[in-house]
Amino acid sequence: MLKFFRTSRPDAQTDEQLLAAYLKSGDQRHLGILYERYMPMVYGVCLKIFKDVGKSEDAVMAIFEELTRKVREHQIESFRGWLYVLARNHCLMEWRKKQRRPTDHLAPEEMARFDNPETDPEFELPTDRPALEKCLEKLNDQQKTCVSMFYYDDFSYKEISEKLSLDLGMVRSFIQNGKRNLKICLESLK
């Protein structure tokens, strides 16, 4: 009974406590709780590398398998950092495996693609209003509407999707792409 109550509130434990509990008992539930904390982030990293939803989903599960195998072999100081490296390496390995046959000679470029990710500079609406207006005009209608609603009128994604009766995912995508196009346009003007 006591054990039951103890296992029922593992959310309060830190990563390291959970990891220690797993190493001691071998109970996969501890590791599961720990992994679940970072699962969205692992999934995001997989998405970035694979650029494929289905593969990323499978990879998230495969990484957990790898985790259960490797967690005992290493002395882990920071679980979070270690998981990041593990997840990233796993995805890169898988990705290369699939790419090797047709594009073997491209290996160095692949490395460059992932090892120098272009940093996403903070996007601020520039004070140069005329330039901005000019670039906004260049966007397509949907991107223009969504971007200006988000940045000028301070609506949330959901509110925009309701007002324009657009799918939420579409709104996210319009803002994302509109933002990118704006940035490119503004840089070219400078």
Partner 1 sequence: MKNKIHQADQNFLDLLQRWLRGDFRRADEKSVQKLTDDDDFRREAMQGFSEFSEVNHSEKLAVLRQRLAEKTGAAPQLRVVWMQRMLAAAAVLVLVLGTVWLFQKQEISPEKTAVNLPQPAENQGVGTPAPENSDAKIYTENSAAPENQGSAADKILAEKPAAKPTISSSGKRDEITVATAPQSVSEDRPTDFSQPKMEAEMNEIVVADDKISPVRSAEVAPPPPSFEEKMAKENAADFSKKKMPTASKPANPAKSLPAGQIKHDTDAKPDLGKLRKKEEIIAAAEPIGGWDNFNEYIRQNARLTPEAAKQMNFGLVGLQFYPTPEGETGSIVITKSLGFGLDEEAKRLVKLFDWQPGKNNLVKLEIRFAR
- Give yes or no for residue 14 binding partner 1 (CB under 8 A): yes
CB of 55 to partner 1, least distance (A): 8
Binding of partner 1 by 31 (CB under 8 A): yes
C-alpha distances out from residue 126 to 3, 87, 120, 180, 187, Å:
58, 37, 16, 14, 11
CA distance 81 to 96: 22
Report the residue number, 12 or 105, with the smaller CB distance to partner 1. Answer: 12
* Residues between 142 and 161 that touch partner 1 (CB under 8 A): 150-151, 154-158, 161
DSSP assignments along 76-99, one per residue: -S-HHHHHHHHHHHHHHHHHHHHH
Q: Please tell me whether residue 171 binds partner 1 under the rule CB under 8 A.
A: yes
Contacts of 75 (CB under 8 A, 6+ apart): none
Q: List residues binding partner 1 (CB under 8 A).
A: 1, 4, 7-8, 14-16, 28-29, 31-33, 35-49, 51-54, 56-57, 60-61, 64, 78, 80-81, 84, 88, 117, 119-120, 122-123, 150-151, 154-158, 161, 167-173, 175-176
